[in-house]
Amino acid sequence: MGESFGEGCDGDFILWCILLVVCWPLVLVLLPFRIVGIAVGGVLDLIRAIILLPARALRGPRSATAR
């Protein structure tokens, strides 16, 4: 019927090892792009905050009920 714990795990382990061997070079290639994307997103958020700062300052403080 169904497999009990431990049966059939050898094949799953071998498949995971093959997946690891095949995919780790892809991770090494794509990791710098991920880091650059995070950095660019941070810079764009900073520029947006600087541009919107005068409007937020002129709007004044918000009251707790006006959300």
Q: What is the DSSP string of 3-61?
A: PPTTTTHHHHHHHHHHHHHHHHHHHHHHHHHHHHHHHHHHHHHHHHHHHHHHHHHHH-P
State how many domains the chain has.
1
Instruction: Give CA separation, 31 vs 19, 24, 27, 28, in Å.
Output: 18, 11, 6, 5
Domain ranges, residue 42: 30-57
pLDDT tens, position by position, 8-53 = 678 888 998 998 898 988 888 898 999 999 999 999 999 999 999 9
The predicted pLDDT at position 33 comes to: 93
- What predicted TM-score, i.e. pTM, was given to this entire model? 0.53
Establish if 42 belongs to a structural domain. yes
Establish if 21 belongs to a structural domain. no
Establish if 50 belongs to a structural domain. yes
Q: pLDDT class for 6, splitting at 50, 70, 90?
A: low
Establish if 16 belongs to a structural domain. no
Establish if 41 belongs to a structural domain. yes
Q: pLDDT class for 1, splitting at 50, 70, 90?
A: very low
Establish if 44 belongs to a structural domain. yes
Question: What distance in Å separates the CA atoms of residue 25 and residue 19, rounded to the nearest whole number?
Answer: 11
Residue 54 is which amino acid? P
